[in-house]
Amino acid sequence: MKRVRIATRASALALAQSGAVGRSVADALGCETELVPLVTSGDRLADAPLARVGGKGLFVKEIEEALLDGRADLAVHSAKDLPAAASAGLVLAAFPARADPRDALVAREPGARLLALPRGARVGTGSARRSSQLLAQRPDLEIVPLRGNVDTRLRRLFERGLDAILLACAGLDRLGRGEVIQERIDPLVLLPAVGQGTLALQARAGDPLAEQLLVLDDGLTRARLAAERAFLRELEGDCNVPLAAYAEPQDGGRLRLFALLASPDGRALVRSEQSGPVSEAEALGRRAASEVLANGGTEILTRLRAEPFA
């Protein structure tokens, strides 16, 4: 087999993730691999709020272009960076087993816990999902906008005098930085992003490589992501929409899906919980979306889209 060129963002985390995938591809398919690092629009606009500059699709645009024009054969994405709509001419070929999907609390004080932070604590996050859920439970906290790569955000914890920051456990673990985590936050306290902890392997539609990559696919991870992304699609969610969905496996080949939609200030928050067979994963996401929309979600979305950057 020819050398497989793997398009990836150029951040330390993306390179670590893609390097691990490259080794798995080489072992499974008996081929050589090569990383093709690319700087995406989202990386170049690292200090701007994503909602203002085009949404999380900015992290995949240039990578997908490299696949389509033949500069790369395979792309590795963090599934939570993928927009709700699929890209023409490309397929999500495989999803390796999911890493820790939880959010991580990194704080100045050892042993800190999210819900026990001091009154008025300053918490850094660039995520509308995290900030809205946190404000729903702790409206006394000050949310400080925070973007940049993992090392930048860890550094700004101290540079900006923050009490804590919120990151993804999976990213810290993949970088070998898990020791900085004070709390791996229970998903029912802070519901994770759609696909958090999951890698998505993307290839050109019709390319034999797409079928060959199925050897790296984890069926349960695929089903969990299908449920979560169905919820995302139904709500037409993007980075300015504070939504979350998390599917957890249950005995007997079943999934339980937790989903929510919130207002940015956390004052309005609508939840849904659905369960069913793994084979009906997408239906779980659609049912959750219907319940959320019927119970106040439509009004939240209407307000968000009238003032998308409020």
Question: Could you list the pLDDT tens digit for every one of the 310 residues in the chain?
Answer: 589 999 999 999 999 999 999 999 999 999 999 999 998 765 655 555 544 444 556 678 899 999 999 999 999 999 999 988 888 999 999 999 999 999 999 999 999 999 999 999 999 999 999 999 999 999 999 999 998 899 999 999 999 999 999 999 999 999 999 999 999 999 999 999 999 999 999 999 999 999 999 999 999 999 999 999 999 999 988 778 999 999 999 999 999 999 999 999 999 999 999 999 999 999 999 999 999 999 999 999 999 988 755 4
Q: Is the pTM here over 0.85, yes or no?
A: yes
Residue 192, in any domain of the structure: no
Residue 61, in any domain of the structure: yes
Q: Which domain holds residue 257?
A: 227-306
Residue 190, in any domain of the structure: no
Catalytic hit among 27, 43, 73, 81: 81
Reference 226, options 82, 106, 126; nearest CA is 82
8 Å CB contact between 199 and 164: no
Q: Are residues 176 and 258 in the same domain?
A: no
Q: Are residues 82 and 148 in the same domain?
A: no
Residue 246, in any domain of the structure: yes
Q: Are residues 75 and 203 in the same domain?
A: yes
Q: Are residues 238 and 270 in the same domain?
A: yes
Residues 304 and 71: their CA atoms lie apart, in Å, by: 38
Using CA atoms of 197, 204, 210, 202 in order, give the dihedral in degrees to the nearest 10: -10
Residues 122 and 310: their CA atoms lie apart, in Å, by: 20
CATH number at residue 243: 3.30.160.40
Q: In the annotation, is 163 catalytic?
A: no
Reference 106, options 148, 149, 156; nearest CA is 156
Q: Are residues 86 and 36 in the same domain?
A: yes
Number of domains in the chain: 3
Reference 76, options 170, 13, 169, 1; nearest CA is 13
Residue 222, in any domain of the structure: no
Q: What average pLDDT does the chain have?
A: 93
Residues 175 and 197: their CA atoms lie apart, in Å, by: 13
Q: Are residues 76 and 107 in the same domain?
A: no
For 12-48, the three-class secondary structure string (H helix, E strand, C coil) is HHHHHHHHHHHHHHHHHHCCCEEEEEECCHHHHCCCC
Q: Are residues 27 and 92 in the same domain?
A: yes
pLDDT (0 to 100) of residue 61: 87
- For the stretch 184-204, pLDDT in tens is 999 999 999 999 999 999 999
Q: Are residues 248 and 295 in the same domain?
A: yes
Residue 291, in any domain of the structure: yes
Q: Are residues 72 and 204 in the same domain?
A: yes
pLDDT (0 to 100) of residue 157: 96
Q: Are residues 255 and 291 in the same domain?
A: yes
CATH number at residue 118: 3.40.190.10
Q: Are residues 88 and 204 in the same domain?
A: yes
Q: Are residues 302 and 163 in the same domain?
A: no
